[in-house]
Structure 1
Amino acid sequence: MSKKEDSRGKKGSHQTELYAEVPSTCLPIVYSPEYNITFMGLEKLHPFDAGKWGKVIHFLKEEQFITDEVIVLAREASEADLLVVHTARYLNRLKWSLVVATITEIPPLLFLPNFLVQRKVLKPLRTQTGGTIMAGKLAMDRGWAINVGGGFHHCSSDKGGGFCAYADITLAIKFLFERVEGVARATIIDLDAHQGNGHERDFLEDRRVYIMDVYNRHIYPGDGYAKRAIKRKVELDWGTEDMEYLQKVELHSEGALNEVRPDIIIYNAGTDILDGDPLGGLAISPQGIIKRDEIIFRAARRRGIPILMVTSGGYQKKTARIIADSILNLHRQGLIGEEAVEGAGPSHVPLMMSKSVSSGAMFSAI
């Protein structure tokens, strides 16, 4: 799929452990137990389920799709890795607990020593960020990859927010541009309920990156400046349901990929579109989310374009089960797995229309 560079990459690139070779016996599914945030119950002060990533893996093991032996263990992104995108000034600001409390929207963090904040909050996020970068290379090598975490699409090179402290999507793309021969164009398909203003700000003037963003127009972040980077913008209203949503996703994803053929797709697969999500304000059923993911993978695989999926936002306890069910469906459809083939057959996922309307909330979100 790609000519692989060594860990130093092209001339002038720093040494990194994130592009180390992965055994062929592993599936390109990236995860680490370090993803999960648990510290004195403080993580419960934000509606985000800070342990959902481990639950996804648990469900996939329960269904005998994966074992520990076939998972790619994510590595923490180093400071040198982060400096590929982030400014030194921004990384230094994260050494202040007040700044991290503001970004994560967990006010009590400001009272904790920063070494604890680094260890218990930022290290898990750095590990997920490393996982996204690793998954980018795996997608080029294997045709697809899933980071069970990541998708911090509100963070840009010099500003975090909405529980996003590191710009993992931007980093994954920049690493690929710098280190993998043949990667010159990338398309971001952002289907989280919120606008992905972080990567949009980072790629505002970069014609190599095409951004499609489908989001609730009425909620955080409402970043008009960042919207200038969106090449295909689909703004939704409160309570959008399955039929309208899936029609728009399919129409615009096909249109985006027909307009510009990228060398890789980064798919931000937030589940905060789920009916009842306290922050997303949409009304998509679990079956609708599963179908959505299938639409995107089918479009990528049919064209032979490598795809990297990150899981992003989702603020209900049941989202972990839905993510796992979606991954299992992708496997059943022949869209992922060792036997995955391009142009897999027709879908068999039933659609169920969801009718209830979610309301907004005081928190912002991934």
Structure 2
Amino acid sequence: MHKSQLYKDIPYEKVPIIYNSMYNISFFGMEKLHPFDSGKWGRIIKMLVDESVIKKEEIIDSEQISETELLLVHTKDYLQSLKSSFTVARITEIWPVALLPHFIVNRNLLIPFKFQTGGTVLAAKVAMERGWAINIGGGFHHCSSSEGGGFCAYADITLAIKILKNEFDAVRNIMIIDLDAHQGNGHERDFIDKSVYIMDAYNAYIYPSDSSAEAAISRIIKLKPYTEDKEYLELIK
């Protein structure tokens, strides 16, 4: 049975919110070429601290996921493909990244993704102990075990579930509730056998429109553009 190195003991005075300043992505302004806000995680923490919701010292620090643990879900070929700047450019949809030396791509993109992935794995463990936990980053729902996309390079959701099942005998049934505007086709492809109950509510008219991955969804809620709050909440209920 695999024992995750990320499953460290957390002092009880810590609040079940996981974050690391390494989450934030910035490299020569190229990150602004994608609509995804790659610095939002730090701003979220700043807001929580400024509003006295949490103190900095109460936050649980995440650690970088190791390649050994990534191999629990990812193929060697996929991880090898991430050593190509072109592949990472395709996944992040920031094409100038393809022109950068890989050491820069690794430092400024892949390592932040690895810290966020480590945060998801740790959050699952903390939630089992405390009843809840939030990873400020992660949630890379477009990445499956064999393919990345949509600014998602590592399948942190699949990995967190796999390690959770290995570590906790009490874990029998797992549900993913995906409320992002986009379809979570990554984890859906990984659980196409419906071994995990997936509820996914998303705009059916935007990326990724992955019809084959829909077979994994137990409760599907396809939304139209400009769906108002009242209608949305009624559909979710």
After TM superposition, is the score higher than 0.5? yes
Deviation of the 1:29 alpha carbon:
0.2
Deviations 1:265-292 (CA, angstroms, capped at 9, x unpaired)? xxxxxxxxxxxxxxxxxxxxxxxxxxxx
SS at match of 1:91: helix
Structure 2: segments with no counterpart, 5+ residues: none
Q: 1:50 aligned to 2:38?
A: yes
SS at match of 2:133: strand
Deviations 1:142-174 (CA, angstroms, capped at 9, x unpaired)? 000000011110000000000000111111111
Q: 1:240 aligned to 2:234?
A: no
Instruction: Provide the rounded CA distance (Å) in 2 between the counterparts of 1:112 and 1:236.
Output: 38
User: Which amino acid letter does the alignment assign opposite residue 59 of structure 2?
Assistant: I
Instruction: Provide the rounded CA distance (Å) in 1 between the counterparts of 2:193 and 2:182.
Output: 21
Equivalent in the alignment of 2:71: 83
SS at match of 1:181: coil
Deviations 1:196-236 (CA, angstroms, capped at 9, x unpaired)? 000000011142x1000001111111111100000000101
Q: 1:68 aligned to 2:59?
A: no
Q: 1:197 aligned to 2:201?
A: no
User: Which amino acid letter does the alignment assign opposite residue 148 of structure 1?
Assistant: I
Calculate percent identity across the aligned residue pairs: 56
Q: 1:228 aligned to 2:219?
A: no
Q: 1:116 aligned to 2:138?
A: no
Instruction: Provide the rounded CA distance (Å) in 1 between the counterparts of 2:229 and 2:35.
Output: 24
Instruction: Provide the rounded CA distance (Å) in 1 between the counterparts of 2:212 and 2:205.
Output: 16
Q: 1:135 aligned to 2:137?
A: no
Deviation of the 1:66 alpha carbon:
1.2
Instruction: Provide the rounded CA distance (Å) in 1 between the counterparts of 2:116 and 2:137.
Output: 6
Equivalent in the alignment of 1:20: 8
Equivalent in the alignment of 2:176: 188
Instruction: Provide the rounded CA distance (Å) in 1 between the counterparts of 2:79 and 2:56.
Output: 33
Runs of 4 or more, structure 1, over 6 Å off, are none
User: Which amino acid letter does the alignment assign opposite residue 69 of structure 1?
Assistant: E
Deviation of the 1:249 alpha carbon:
1.0
Structure 2 contact 4–163 (Cα < 8 Å) conserved: no
Equivalent in the alignment of 1:334: none
Instruction: Provide the rounded CA distance (Å) in 2 between the counterparts of 1:26 and 1:66.
Output: 10
**TM-score between both structures, scaled by the size of structure 1:** 0.64
Structure 2 contact 141–155 (Cα < 8 Å) conserved: yes
Q: 1:211 aligns with which of 188, 198, 201?
A: 198
Instruction: Provide the rounded CA distance (Å) in 2 between the counterparts of 1:206 and 1:200.
Output: 8
User: Which amino acid letter does the alignment assign opposite residue 192 of structure 1?
Assistant: D
Deviation of the 1:248 alpha carbon:
0.8
Equivalent in the alignment of 1:257: none
Instruction: Provide the rounded CA distance (Å) in 1 between the counterparts of 2:176 and 2:164.
Output: 14
Deviations 1:43-78 (CA, angstroms, capped at 9, x unpaired)? 111111111000000000001121121100011111
Structure 1: segments with no counterpart, 5+ residues: 1-10, 251-366
Equivalent in the alignment of 1:36: 24
Deviation of the 1:17 alpha carbon:
2.2
Structure 2 contact 194–217 (Cα < 8 Å) conserved: no
Q: 1:174 aligns with which of 162, 179, 185?
A: 162
Please state which structure has a larger fraction of its residues in helix.
2
Deviation of the 1:244 alpha carbon:
0.4
Deviation of the 1:184 alpha carbon:
1.4
Instruction: Provide the rounded CA distance (Å) in 1 between the counterparts of 2:79 and 2:157.
Output: 17
Equivalent in the alignment of 2:86: 98
Give aligned pairs, total.
237
Larger Rg: 1
